[in-house]
A and B are shown apart, each in its own frame.
Chain A
Amino acid sequence: MTDPLLDVRDLRVTIPTEDGDVHAVSGVSFAVEPGKVLGVVGESGSGKSVTMLSLMGLMRRAGARVTGEVRFGGTDLVTADDRTLRRLRGDDVAMIFQDPLSSLHPFYRVGSQITEGIRAHRDVSRKQAKERAIELLGLVGIPRPHQRVDDYPHEFSGGMRQRVMIAMALANDPKLLIADEPTTALDVTVQAQILALLQRLQAELGMAVVMITHDLGVVAEIADDIAVMYAGRIVERAPVKTLFRQPRHPYTWGLLRSIPRLDLPRDVDLVPIEGRPPSLIHPTGRCAFQPRCAYAARCCGTEDPALTPVGSDPEHLVRCDMDEEQGTRIWSALAAGESPEQAALAAGVPTTGTAA
């Protein structure tokens, strides 16, 4: 196993608000090896974006308290000063965001927005930077980059804008690219193009990628590992194949069952996860998913379960007290299209009866 490029340990982010402290991230640990792709999946407010923004020091001005350890190439990003972080941002670590229209400055030509990022880190002339910008626009598949480099963001379509954002992020050959829901704001057909582009670039340039999304389908093909986040912590982490084959956390089951499947009859409804995410202001100290879990019963302890290895894959970690064998049985019933009650009944688990 190679040394990880990014090593996050027990990251905690607390954001003070008028209603109290929001524990947006409470104890997240993961590592990304060079050239690997990590998918971070979870619903809105699960702390995915906050985790990544705080890695780059972008939560500091919001007054957030960040603790833990984030190792990137020998530096601890949590304790690093603003100067050090600024040197990393846009150079070794780059980011792309959800909405490419609002993420590009409306008043500047895309070329100058790209060259600005190059010249912030490299001592090159305006002309060289512009040539690099044209090269980058070509790399991300924008036709006629020589002309388009002088266009404004509003003169591009949504997909093309996201390509511009990607070009901007790649400007300084980053070792790590953080993509925060890069396809969420795009049309479905364009989504596929952007994903294919990211996949191609990742393979060509050999950079590591952290892909944040709420859609497991998005990362299924591109990711090596997947971390599922819920209420500010990772509830399940596994290599992508293991996660899709043997998911263990009831929340992951919920996510998987809300993806449309071609192998089930068309009249089978998509199954939403009942209930709402818990308040992050007053953590209960117990499993955060318990109130929404269809299988929460005697198997659940009163304490928040730790992230522990499970099953045959040593890299498969789950934060759930459920018995392994029961879990396997429930998932195989669910995967066959049965309802949570039926599945629980088959596995001999008493259900709470909250989920229909």
Chain B
Amino acid sequence: MTRLLAPVVRLLARLLAPVAALWDRFARTLPGRVVVRVFGPTVRRLVSPTARYIYRRLVWMVFLLLVVSMLAFLIFYALPSGDPAAQRAGKGADQAQIDRVKHTLFLDRPIYEQYFHYIKQIVLHFDFGFSYDTNADVAHAITSRLPATISLAAGAAVIWLIVGVLIGILSALRPRSFFDRLVMGGALLGISAPVYWLALVALALFSQSYGVIHLIPDTGAYRPLTEDPGAWFTSLIVPWCILALSFAAIYARLMRANLLEVLDQDYLRTAEAKGLSRRRVVVRHGVRSAITPIVTAFGLDLGILLGGAVLTESVFNIPGIGRLSYDAIVASNLPVIQGTVLFAAFFIIAANILVDIVYALIDPRVRLA
């Protein structure tokens, strides 16, 4: 689900750009000019352009999150998958009970009041409501599942970044060689194979109780790192690899293409003409340039995954945010769905901002303004 969300959020940011333009227009009107005239110099003196940029992006992020929450609210209001109140009241509840539940959940109010109440609770109390089926606090349900998702995403990220970049570099250094053709063919397979299928194959081959070779623990073996580091590691190693595979394949191809292009640049010839060693030419001059776009892609992919790796978490039964949102969708558990959507959107937008800032740090030609 979060996979679908990322392009939606990016599209939204694009569509809402006119609002940002509105602020610019306001700054050009008389009252706007007064505001800018009075506060502008102070702001400029006190805050660096980068800080002002970050501040602007943060304001933008809050705005985007509001829109996402509104859309999510509208979608679930317009497309009811059963009466939430009836669900909440439980089986065999009579109409009076359902009506009472409806009242306590504000479901008998108009939608804008419901929405306003929802946002107010979040802003004032960081209260995302209660899960319909377990009664658990949604904010707590999400934050308690965050470590599992972070473990999965971070571990996979380390693997795919190292493997993908290394393979990409080696391929680019010997284009059209046997190695290059082999790994690029493999990369195509890695990109094409669906994660859930790969995960099931891995389980069928290697899992403890029903695999061909008994190598890895069964699904659901996840333990928090703080509780049992050994079990944490062994339970995650296969999910990491499975999740990392397709990313590694994409990154290898990206890195190969980038580096091939950079190796053709005039400044690589200059580096060589200076009499630097081949390794220094390739790494310090070539890879340094070729890896810049990788950093961007990496930030965004990680942001998306932190919103929950739904497929991997579901197949391996890892109690992360992805698994949580999957269960919530199956059960039409609206508060949990809303909460996970907002969290996922938050991570994606935050990753976008972070990527922009990091990009300005690694490419001196980019200015944040």
Residues in chain A within 8 A of chain B (CB atoms): 56, 58, 82, 86-91, 94-95, 97, 99, 102-107, 116-117, 120-121, 152, 154, 165, 168
Indicate if the CB atoms of B289 and A107 lie closer than 8 Å.
Answer: yes
The distance in angstroms between the C-alpha atoms of A109 and B271, with both chains bound, is 14
Indicate if the CB atoms of A106 and B364 lie closer than 8 Å.
Answer: yes
Query: Binary interface profile of B, 260-281, with partner A (CB < 8 Å = 1, else 0)?
Result: 0000011101111111111010
Range of interface residues on B (Cβ < 8 Å): 20 to 34
Contacts of A82 in B (CB 8 A): 278
Indicate if the CB atoms of B273 and A120 lie closer than 8 Å.
Answer: no
Q: Which residue of A lies closest to B292 (CB)?
A: A107
Extra A-B contacts (11), CB below 8 Å, given A90-B274, A121-B275, A168-B274: A56-B273, A89-B272, A95-B270, A95-B273, A97-B270, A103-B266, A105-B267, A105-B270, A107-B288, A107-B363, A117-B276
Indicate if the CB atoms of B271 and A154 lie closer than 8 Å.
Answer: no
Query: Binary interface profile of B, 169-199, with partner A (CB < 8 Å = 1, else 0)?
Result: 0000000000000000000000000000000
Contacts of B271 in A (CB 8 A): 105
Indicate if the CB atoms of A117 and B275 lie closer than 8 Å.
Answer: yes
Indicate if the CB atoms of B269 and A117 lie closer than 8 Å.
Answer: no
**Closest-CB distance, B42 to chain A (whole angstroms):** 29
Indicate if the CB atoms of B274 and A154 lie closer than 8 Å.
Answer: no
The distance in angstroms between the C-alpha atoms of A104 and B272, with both chains bound, is 12
Indicate if the CB atoms of B274 and A105 lie closer than 8 Å.
Answer: no
Within residues 330 to 369 of chain B, which ones have a CB less than 8 A from any CB in chain A? 362-365
Contacts of B269 in A (CB 8 A): 58, 97, 103
**Closest-CB distance, B50 to chain A (whole angstroms):** 17
The distance in angstroms between the C-alpha atoms of A88 and B276, with both chains bound, is 11
Indicate if the CB atoms of B266 and A102 lie closer than 8 Å.
Answer: yes
Given contacts A103-B267, A106-B289, whether A89 and B362 have CB atoms under 8 Å apart is no
**Closest-CB distance, A104 to chain B (whole angstroms):** 6
The distance in angstroms between the C-alpha atoms of A121 and B274, with both chains bound, is 9
Q: Which residue of A lies closest to B277 (CB)?
A: A86
Q: Can you identify 15 A-B contacts, CB atoms within 8 angstroms? A: A56-B273, A86-B277, A89-B272, A102-B265, A102-B267, A105-B267, A105-B270, A105-B288, A105-B289, A107-B288, A107-B364, A120-B275, A120-B276, A152-B364, A165-B270
User: Counting CB contacts under 8 A, is B285 at the interface?
Assistant: yes
Indicate if the CB atoms of A87 and B266 lie closer than 8 Å.
Answer: no
Q: Which residue of A lies closest to B273 (CB)?
A: A95
Contacts of B267 in A (CB 8 A): 102-106
Residues in chain B within 8 A of chain A (CB atoms): 265-267, 269-278, 280, 285, 288-289, 362-365
Among A58, A82, A106, A152, the one with the most B-chain Cβ atoms within 10 Å of its Cβ is: A106
The distance in angstroms between the C-alpha atoms of A152 and B364, with both chains bound, is 7
The distance in angstroms between the C-alpha atoms of A200 and B26, with both chains bound, is 57
The distance in angstroms between the C-alpha atoms of A154 and B363, with both chains bound, is 11
Contacting A58 at CB < 8 Å: which of B272, B277, B288, B364?
Answer: B272
Indicate if the CB atoms of A88 and B365 lie closer than 8 Å.
Answer: no
Given contacts A152-B364, A152-B365, A154-B365, whether A104 and B274 have CB atoms under 8 Å apart is no
The distance in angstroms between the C-alpha atoms of A227 and B322, with both chains bound, is 71
Q: Which residue of A lies closest to B271 (CB)?
A: A105
The distance in angstroms between the C-alpha atoms of A168 and B272, with both chains bound, is 13
Contacts of A106 in B (CB 8 A): 267, 289, 363-365
Q: Which residue of A lies closest to B272 (CB)?
A: A58
Q: Which residue of B lies closest to A98 (CB)?
A: B266
Contacts of A168 in B (CB 8 A): 270, 274
Indicate if the CB atoms of B364 and A104 lie closer than 8 Å.
Answer: no
Contacts of A105 in B (CB 8 A): 267, 270-271, 285, 288-289
Given contacts A99-B266, A102-B266, whether A107 and B362 have CB atoms under 8 Å apart is yes
Among B271, B274, B363, the one with the most A-chain Cβ atoms within 10 Å of its Cβ is: B274
The distance in angstroms between the C-alpha atoms of A120 and B365, with both chains bound, is 26
Contacts of B273 in A (CB 8 A): 56, 58, 89-90, 94-95, 97
The distance in angstroms between the C-alpha atoms of A247 and B140, with both chains bound, is 89
Q: Shortest 6 CB-CB distances between A and B: which pairs?
A: A90-B275, A89-B275, A117-B274, A90-B274, A102-B266, A103-B266
Given contacts A103-B269, A106-B267, whether A88 and B288 have CB atoms under 8 Å apart is no
**Closest-CB distance, A193 to chain B (whole angstroms):** 21
Contacts of A102 in B (CB 8 A): 265-267
Contacts of A104 in B (CB 8 A): 267, 270
Q: Which residue of A lies closest to B263 (CB)?
A: A61
Contacts of A120 in B (CB 8 A): 274-277, 280
The distance in angstroms between the C-alpha atoms of A89 and B274, with both chains bound, is 6
Indicate if the CB atoms of B364 and A154 lie closer than 8 Å.
Answer: yes
**Closest-CB distance, A161 to chain B (whole angstroms):** 11
The distance in angstroms between the C-alpha atoms of A102 and B265, with both chains bound, is 7
**Closest-CB distance, B362 to chain A (whole angstroms):** 7
**Closest-CB distance, B45 to chain A (whole angstroms):** 24
Indicate if the CB atoms of A87 and B265 lie closer than 8 Å.
Answer: no
Q: Which residue of B lies closest to A154 (CB)?
A: B365
The distance in angstroms between the C-alpha atoms of A89 and B277, with both chains bound, is 11
Contacts of B365 in A (CB 8 A): 106, 152, 154
**Closest-CB distance, B209 to chain A (whole angstroms):** 52
Contacts of A56 in B (CB 8 A): 273
Q: Which residue of B lies closest to A109 (CB)?
A: B364
The distance in angstroms between the C-alpha atoms of A94 and B272, with both chains bound, is 11
The distance in angstroms between the C-alpha atoms of A56 and B273, with both chains bound, is 8
